[in-house]
Amino acid sequence: MSRRDWRFFGRLHTNLYKRLGGRLVGTVGLGRKVLLLTTTGRKSGKQRTTPLVYMPHGDDVIIYPSNGGKESPPAWWLNLQTTPSATIQIGKETRQIQARPATPAEYAQIWPKAESYNPHWRDYSKKVTRPLPLIILEGHSPTP
């Protein structure tokens, strides 16, 4: 798929997710779950929403900035590095979160479960030379 096709697909997925409250588009096969991540653009200051596969991890949520196995990081990860507070929508629930990369000890503990949960993450990690951290989304208290 071209970059333009992926952007179109992302916008379509986002709109369907919002309209349907995550029903029908809240998973992507093999039980993997999808959330909507809304970040603040590091250059524009505009709100940017991206559908992402996530892994539940206790009270937190794990996401992975693989950018589909590309060498460049995804814009949402660059945005979170500048402004780590963001919003996620899981199903109909919207939550405020703080994003941070897993510490080396957390990574060692979480990674075996993560690569089993989403084998694509494991494949992407082998395709790139840049480090691919696990991103922990913490402090998600429901918002009205």
Q: What is the pLDDT of residues 21-56, one digit of tens each?
A: 655 554 454 567 888 899 999 999 999 998 888 999
Q: Looking at residues 96-121, what average pLDDT do you find?
A: 95
pLDDT confidence tier of residue 133, bands split at 50, 70 and 90: very high
Residues in the chain: 144
Which has more confidence, 144 or 15?
Answer: 15
Output the average pLDDT for the chain: 84
Choose among 24, 48, 47, 50: nearest CA to 35: 50
Instruction: Note the pLDDT of residue 8.
Output: 46
Q: Where are the domains of the chain?
A: 3-143
Q: What pLDDT score was predicted for residue 33? A: 83
Question: What is the value of pTM for the model shown?
Answer: 0.81
- Per the CB < 8 A criterion, the answer to whether 50 and 34 are in contact is no
CATH architecture of 3-143: Roll (2.30)
Residue % of the chain over a pLDDT of 90: 56
d(CA 89, CA 21): 9
